């Protein structure tokens, strides 16, 4: 910017002043930044003021001031003489720039006019400091989980990649088994529908994910077993075990072989490449960063998608290389059952918990407990949850078998455990009710003793 005063004939030449701030490329948060204000004049310096502009230009925060009348420190300026001109440079250094420093800055310069010393010539320059911030976190989760395994109807599945802390918003995309996914972009969320997703693009055969013959044969064998009216052998309870007080201590549970992973694939499963749909959403943060969510949706094919590796990758100008997060879609297998106490007695509260699997499972499975051949202790047919709690177990539960079904959209598996209930020496045989509580003559004697004690205290 140049500022001059009007010059009248016969008067002294007025001073001139030009001001400009050197442009800066976008900078990364944490870097040191130097703002440089260059100005050229033939007048005498009066003052230099730097402002940071906020709230859309309505507020100007003064960050540096140099007043020639009261300061003899010229260390912040560099000058050299060229003909009759003086060229100055004023610098302001931000040692560790932050996202909050993003915005416009102004450099205001004032000089004394050569024609009249009472007049000050003013000029200014401005620059917009663009501060970038790389994303700070990336995570891949499954939407609408936990969810059951669907044997006879196709279901849609969605992976959500959450990227936080970036400015500007990063570019987010998905890969499958290391190959970029060609997805159909969406501007609006998909309508809730149980039907498979389709588009008008030409059919493409899935060549890089051949069918596993072992899985197919296993599926057919399970399907044949059901059509013959049979069930996997592990769903049938074994013979009951009666504890012998004189024998050595036995474990509370009996390990039962696991049921083969259920994957009876219906006719809707096709060995073709699925159609992927991708939608992005942006949520601005109070600190100027943006949270990006990328939603990848397709019709799940458990026969092909099981053990498929999906990765979410992020590109950002503040990153030297892409960020990445990976998940592998895996059906549950081999639930590990833990029961406490390890030696259950009549009247104890027994907890049966699934505390892991033989493999890494994704997405999170859901758990359903049932009692083989009967209802649960509270009278319900089944219980949903990772832990089954049996309060005050009675002797009648000795030898009862419990089935836990773990499932996610990729498949399901069953495992069984048998409860062994030992006698409680504190509860005489035959005196406990169905909930394991003491009753009968012993309970009556206890009531009479308490009543007698109260009467004696009153007398």
pLDDT digits (tens, 9 = 90+) for 215-234: 444 434 444 444 444 434 33
Pick the most confident of 104-118, 165-179, 200-214, 219-233: 165-179
CA 340, CA 348: separation in Å to the nearest integer?
10
What b-and-e string marks burial along 223-245, b requiring 16 or more CB atoms within 10 Å of the CB? eeeeeeeeeeebeebeeeeeeee
**Interval 99-109 mean pLDDT:** 94
- Share the mean pLDDT of the chain: 78
- Share above pLDDT 90 across residues of the chain, in percent, rounded to a whole number: 55
CA 5, CA 15: separation in Å to the nearest integer?
7
CATH class of 336-422: mainly beta
- Provide the pLDDT for residue 265: 52
- Provide the pLDDT for residue 23: 94
pLDDT tens-digit series, residues 339-357: 999 899 999 999 999 999 9
**CA end-to-end span of the chain:** 107
pLDDT tens-digit series, residues 410-451: 999 999 999 999 998 887 766 555 555 554 444 433 333 333
Select from 3.30.70.1400, 2.60.120.10, 3.30.70.580, 2.60.40.10 the CATH code of 137-184+275-329: 2.60.40.10
Q: Where are the domains of the chain?
A: 17-132, 137-184+275-329, 336-422
- Provide the pLDDT for residue 206: 38
- Provide the pLDDT for residue 256: 57
Band (454; pLDDT cuts 50, 70, 90): very low
- Provide the pLDDT for residue 459: 34
CA 345, CA 15: separation in Å to the nearest integer?
102
**Interval 78-90 mean pLDDT:** 60
Measured CA to CA in angstroms, residue 210 lies from 76, 102, 213, 273, 304 at distances of: 69, 51, 9, 11, 8
In this predicted structure, the answer to whether residue 306 has a pLDDT above a threshold of 50 is yes
- Provide the pLDDT for residue 225: 42
Domains 137-184+275-329 and 336-422 share a fold: yes
Domain at 17-132, CATH homologous superfamily: Immunoglobulins (2.60.40.10)
> 311: closest CA among 349, 348, 362?
362
**Interval 5-21 mean pLDDT:** 68
Bridge-partner residues for 402, per DSSP?
A: 371, 417
Q: Model-level pTM?
A: 0.70
Band (114; pLDDT cuts 50, 70, 90): confident
Tokens 């990772």, located at residue: 386
Asked if 312 and 140 touch (Cβ cutoff 8 Å), the reply is yes
DSSP state of 317: T
Q: Determine how β-strand 253-255 pairs with β-strand 411-419.
A: antiparallel
Write the burial class of residue 339 (CB in 10 Å: 0-12 exposed, 13-18 middle, 19+ buried).
buried
- Share above pLDDT 70 across residues of the chain, in percent, rounded to a whole number: 68
Residue 452 three-state SS: helix
The token pair at 34 is 């130097």
- Provide the pLDDT for residue 332: 95
pLDDT tens-digit series, residues 249-292: 344 555 555 544 554 555 555 556 789 999 999 999 998 999 99
CA 369, CA 419: separation in Å to the nearest integer?
14
Give the CA count within 13 Å in the CB-facing half-sphere of 365: 28
- Provide the pLDDT for residue 79: 44
Which of 67-81, 138-152, 272-286 is the least confident region? Answer: 67-81
């Amino acid at each position: 910017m140049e500022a001059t005063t009007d010059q009248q004939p016969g008067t002294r030449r007025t001073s001139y002043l030009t001001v400009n701030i050197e442009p800066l490329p976008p900078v990364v948060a944490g870097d040191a930044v130097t703002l440089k204000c260059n100005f050229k004049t033939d007048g005498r310096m009066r003052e230099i003021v730097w402002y940071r502009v906020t709230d859309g230009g309505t507020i100007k925060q003064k960050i540096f001031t140099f007043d020639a009348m009261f300061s003899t420190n010229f260390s912040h300026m560099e000058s050299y003489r060229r003909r009759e001109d003086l060229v100055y440079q004023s610098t302001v250094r931000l040692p560790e720039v932050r996202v909050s420093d993003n915005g416009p800055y102004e450099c205001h310069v004032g000089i004394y006019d050569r024609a009249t010393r009472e007049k000050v010539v003013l000029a200014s320059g401005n620059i917009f400091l663009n501060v970038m911030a790389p994303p700070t976190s990336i995570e891949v989760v499954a939407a609408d989980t936990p969810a059951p395994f669907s044997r006879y109807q196709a279901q849609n599945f969605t992976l959500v990649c959450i990227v936080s802390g970036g400015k500007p918003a990063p570019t987010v995309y998905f890969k499958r088994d290391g190959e970029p996914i060609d997805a159909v972009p969406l501007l609006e969320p998909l309508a809730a529908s149980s039907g498979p997703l389709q588009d008008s693009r030409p059919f493409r055969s899935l060549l890089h994910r051949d069918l596993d013959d072992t899985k197919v044969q296993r599926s057919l064998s399970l399907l044949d077993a059901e059509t013959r009216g049979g069930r996997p052998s592990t769903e049938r309870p074994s013979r009951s075990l009666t504890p012998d007080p004189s024998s050595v201590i036995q474990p509370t549970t009996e390990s039962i072989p696991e049921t083969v992973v259920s994957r009876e694939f219906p006719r809707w499963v096709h060995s073709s490449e699925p159609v992927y749909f991708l939608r992005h959403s942006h949520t601005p943060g109070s600190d100027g960063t943006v949270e990006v969510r990328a939603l990848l949706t397709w019709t799940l094919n458990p026969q092909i998608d099981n053990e498929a590796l999906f990765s979410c990758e992020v590109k950002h100008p503040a990153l030297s290389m892409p960020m990445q997060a990976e998940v592998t879609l895996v059906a549950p297998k081999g639930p590990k059952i833990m029961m406490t106490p390890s030696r259950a007695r009549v009247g104890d509260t027994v907890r049966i918990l699934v505390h892991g699997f033989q493999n890494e499972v994704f997405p999170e499975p859901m758990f359903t407990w049932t009692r083989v051949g009967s209802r649960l202790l509270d009278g319900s047919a089944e219980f949903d949850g990772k832990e089954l709690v049996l309060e005050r177990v009675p002797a009648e539960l000795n030898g009862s078998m419990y089935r836990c079904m773990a499932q996610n959209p990729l498949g399901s598996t069953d495992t069984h455990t048998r409860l062994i209930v030992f006698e409680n020496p504190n509860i005489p045989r035959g005196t406990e009710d169905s909930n394991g509580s003491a009753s009968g003559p012993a309970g009556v004697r206890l009531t009479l003793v308490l009543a007698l004690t109260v009467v004696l205290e009153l007398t």
